[in-house]
């Protein structure tokens, strides 16, 4: 699978239920290879492997993923912690079997770079900041999608 990384989580650790006293590490990212197709990728493993893999690329990099495990996603649980994707599947990376290679999008396919700027949600499924301000009370307690742009960054 070749795609551009459009999102990435930080590395996290959890107590390993099988090996008491040890930790399992994980991080996930989302890749996109067309305007309508993107998928979440999750990796679990030893701390050194996960940290090294996470540090090997960033959002905006093109990656080639070899030998991932393809697994059906559990939509309700999966999408609490990852972007909602149009696919019914996710990719799992294994330290022993999977390989992630990075390359410049310019070297791979310049069309992939344009995918970085496309929203991942339906354009009709957003609230503007003005709508939220005007209707704040009636929206209380609801989960909303907001499309906004950063106008300035300062101290």
pLDDT grade for 144, boundaries at 50, 70 and 90: confident
DSSP annotation of 35: S
Q: What is the pTM of this model?
A: 0.77
Return d(Cα 67, Cα 41) in angstroms, integer. 12
Contact 68, 98 (CB under 8 A): yes
pLDDT grade for 133, boundaries at 50, 70 and 90: confident
**Amino acid 90: pLDDT:** 92
**Amino acid 60: pLDDT:** 87
Return d(Cα 5, Cα 56) in angstroms, integer. 12
| Residue 47, SS3 per DSSP | helix
What does each C-alpha distance from 94 to 6, 42, 55, 97 come to in angstroms?
21, 9, 16, 5
pLDDT digits (tens, 9 = 90+) for 13-72: 988 888 888 888 999 999 998 888 899 999 998 999 999 999 999 998 889 999 999 999
Contact 97, 67 (CB under 8 A): yes
**Amino acid 12: pLDDT:** 92
Higher pLDDT, residue 53 or 110? 53
108 has pLDDT over 70: no
Give the fold, CATH level 3, of 2-115.
OB fold (Dihydrolipoamide Acetyltransferase, E2P) (2.40.50)
pLDDT digits (tens, 9 = 90+) for 66-99: 999 999 988 666 666 677 788 889 999 988 899 9
| Residue 71, SS3 per DSSP | strand
125 has pLDDT over 90: no
**Amino acid 106: pLDDT:** 58
φ/ψ (deg, to 5) at 10: -80, 160
Contact 21, 71 (CB under 8 A): no
Positive or negative, the CA dihedral 116, 121, 122, 124 is: negative
């Amino acid at each position: 699978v070749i795609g551009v990384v459009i999102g990435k989580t930080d590395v996290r650790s959890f107590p390993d239920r099988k090996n008491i006293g040890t930790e399992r590490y994980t991080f996930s990212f989302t890749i996109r290879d067309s305007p309508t197709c993107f998928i979440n990728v999750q990796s679990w493993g030893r701390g050194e492997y996960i940290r090294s893999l996470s540090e090997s690329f960033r959002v905006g990099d093109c990656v080639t993923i070899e030998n991932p495990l393809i697994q059906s996603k559990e939509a309700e649980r999966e999408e609490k912690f990852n972007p909602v994707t149009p696919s019914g599947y996710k990719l799992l990376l294994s330290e022993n079997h999977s390989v992630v290679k990075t390359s410049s999008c310019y070297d791979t396919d310049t069309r992939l770079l344009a995918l970085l700027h496309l929203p991942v949600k339906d354009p009709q499924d957003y609230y503007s900041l003005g709508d939220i301000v005007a209707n704040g009370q009636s929206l209380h307690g609801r989960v909303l999608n907001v499309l906004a742009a950063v106008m300035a960054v300062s101290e």
